[in-house]
Amino acid sequence: MLNVIPRPAYAEEKFGEFVINSDTTVYADDQLAYARDALVNCVEKACGYRLQVVVSRKAKIQFLFDRHVAREGYNLEATTDSLTVQASAIAGAFYAVQTIRQLTMADLIDNPTVLTMHAVSIKDEPVYAYRGLMFDEARYFHGADTVKTILDMMAYHKLNVFHWHLSDNEGWRVEIKKYPKLTEIGSYRKGSQYLAWGNKSIDKTPHEGFYTQQELKEIVAYAARLNIMIVPEIDMPAHLGAAIAAYPELSCRNVLKEVPVIHGGTPETGGIGDIIGCAGKDFTYRFIYDVIDELSAIFPAPYFHIGGDEAPKGEWKKCPHCQETMRKYGLENEEQLQGYMNNKIAVYLKRKGKRLIGWNEILTAKKLDNSVIAQYWTYKRDPRVENYLMSGRDVIVSKHQAFYFDMPYAMNRLKTTYEFVPEKYGIGEYSSGILGVEGTLWTEWMPTEERVEYQLFPRMEALAEVAWTPASERNYRDFILRLRKFIPILDKARIEYCPLSMVNVKNPLKRLKIARVFQRKNAHVEYNRAMVVKKRRRYRI
Ligand code: ACM
Ligand code: ZN
């Protein structure tokens, strides 16, 4: 069994071992020099010495350019004498380095003098081109160190898209030079609903934070070095409360004056969950285009996420601007008004060479621009997504049951994540339109970095294997055996995680009980229990 996560598409262990020591020489064709340097750095970090870089193909380790290999794929041959990597691009060669890193356990052994790995023959490439993780920093701002830890671990597991949820009702986290109040007012929350959806208790500790444009650029560059693209999300027209608090004229009735403390809204906005930007005012569109302009100068990704989820239409029904826009363009209802808005933005993004991504609720509009990508998150089956795929359009899959990592493990079990296949969710027939899969970390109940890590690990490992490894090569028992060997690496890196004894609770009554408490009373119930379990285990050691 090779200790690699995600498991390679094809691997055959051979007799013998390949040894890296301070005399080991390394060569790379020019196109792959970046990956060679990544390996040199990795060995230096583990062993303290730098491998000798040579210009001769007689080196012990060789990175060879081969245009027949897929862009993110690689071939790796390790014998007792040599280690050869073939790749057609930096991405694939970089992933070969991650595999070597895992096979030699470079991140686990303390101050080794040599690194060894089994002789092996690997041919590897991903199932999906889009292998994503979403991180919500609107609910809680965590900062660059947390983001970099996540990015590092994503690269280690060959994930390549970091979808960054940067605004919501609870906070606006990016500097926009044209609209300074977005961060002056929108990044500050005077307290937080902190116990559960169904429990309106407020913690009066203020919370704030945002990234300057310079900080964002540095993180984008950091991610690019790890072959990770960052897709920013500015959620609209709903989930826009923090922006509306800063610029109330963005809403239909100028009512919100500060970032809401209760999730989803305040009674003044017409009821809990009724916060929405106005789809009829010119100002709204000017604002959105300005924000897109500034963010496009920071995020080069060919995608821009506009959310579009959970948009209540009560305000639009009462708003003269929205109703006038509907009359003017012959839109039969408010759903079509949202479609009109999405199309305007999609066209604007297209001119910048970007495609609009939105959560699957955006499909309620009838005529959507062909370039729009739907992200399928809803728990219930959505026939619109199936039709969308059937008509040849593109979808990213984040089905709640499998990929909502904010849920307790007792509700969204690790096995359910790991055993994801499109067929289980009614979209198997059209899988050619599935760009990939994405895990989501909504942080309403994650005030600390440790909590974020607990929800994410070891789910990131399951996600990576779903995104990378062919379903025919996946096996949950085999995965758990490899995870057991991987957990000490998390321990060494001081990354929090859910103990394996709790990732797959089978007892349905226990699961139901945790689900009830999570939703109604205390969303921290499972985490608190996990920390007790871990502490006990530590004392036993
Ligand atoms: C979502 O969870 N509202 C996309
Ligand atoms: Zn309006």
Q: Pick 130-535's CATH classification: 3.90.1720.10, 3.20.20.80, 3.30.70.20, 3.40.50.150.
A: 3.20.20.80
**What is residue 38's predicted lDDT score, i.e. its pLDDT?**
98
The ligand whose atoms approach the alpha carbon of 376 most closely is 1
Ligand 2 center from residue 361 Cα (angstroms): 19
Q: Helices 449-456 and 459-468: crossing angle, nearest 10°?
A: 40
Question: Taking Cα atoms as reference points, which of 182, 199, 179 lies closest to residue 517?
Answer: 199
What average pLDDT does the structure give for the chain? 95
Q: Which of 239, 309, 382, 412 to mutate to test the pocket of ligand 1 (most atoms within 8 A of CB)?
A: 309
Ligand 1 atom at minimum distance from 239 CA: 3
pLDDT at residue 297 above 90?
A: yes
Ligand 1 center from residue 320 Cα (angstroms): 28
CB-count exposure of residue 152 (10 Å: 0-12, 13-18, 19+) = middle
Q: Name the pLDDT band for 540 (thresholds 50, 70, 90).
A: low
The 10s digit of each residue's pLDDT in 110-128 is 889 999 999 999 999 999 9
The 10s digit of each residue's pLDDT in 42-62 is 999 999 999 999 998 899 999
Ligand 1 atom at minimum distance from 400 CA: 2
Q: Name the pLDDT band for 265 (thresholds 50, 70, 90).
A: low
Q: Ligand 1 atom 1: the closest Cα is on which residue?
A: 309
Q: Dump the DSSP string for 429-473.
A: TTGGGEEEEEEEE--TT--SHHHHHHHHTTHHHHHHHHHHS-GGG
As a whole-number percent, the residues of the chain with pLDDT over 90 amount to 91
Mean pLDDT for the stretch of residues 451-457: 98
Residue ranges, comma separated, of all CATH 3.30.379.10 domains in the chain are 10-124
pTM: 0.97
Q: Ligand 1 atom 2: the closest Cα is on which residue?
A: 377
Does residue 310 have an active-site annotation? yes
Q: Name the pLDDT band for 431 (thresholds 50, 70, 90).
A: confident
The ligand whose atoms approach the alpha carbon of 282 most closely is 2
CB-count exposure of residue 480 (10 Å: 0-12, 13-18, 19+) = middle
Does residue 239 have an active-site annotation? yes
Ligand 1 center from residue 400 Cα (angstroms): 9
Task: Write down the catalytic residue from 107, 294, 310, 449.
Answer: 310
Q: Which residues line ligand 1 (CB under 6 A)?
A: 309-310, 359, 377
Ligand 1 center from residue 184 Cα (angstroms): 26
Ligand 1 atom at minimum distance from 359 CA: 4
The ligand whose atoms approach the alpha carbon of 334 most closely is 2
Mean pLDDT for the stretch of residues 17-42: 98
245 contacts 233 by C-beta, under 8 angstroms: no
Into which CATH architecture does domain 10-124 fall? 2-Layer Sandwich (3.30)
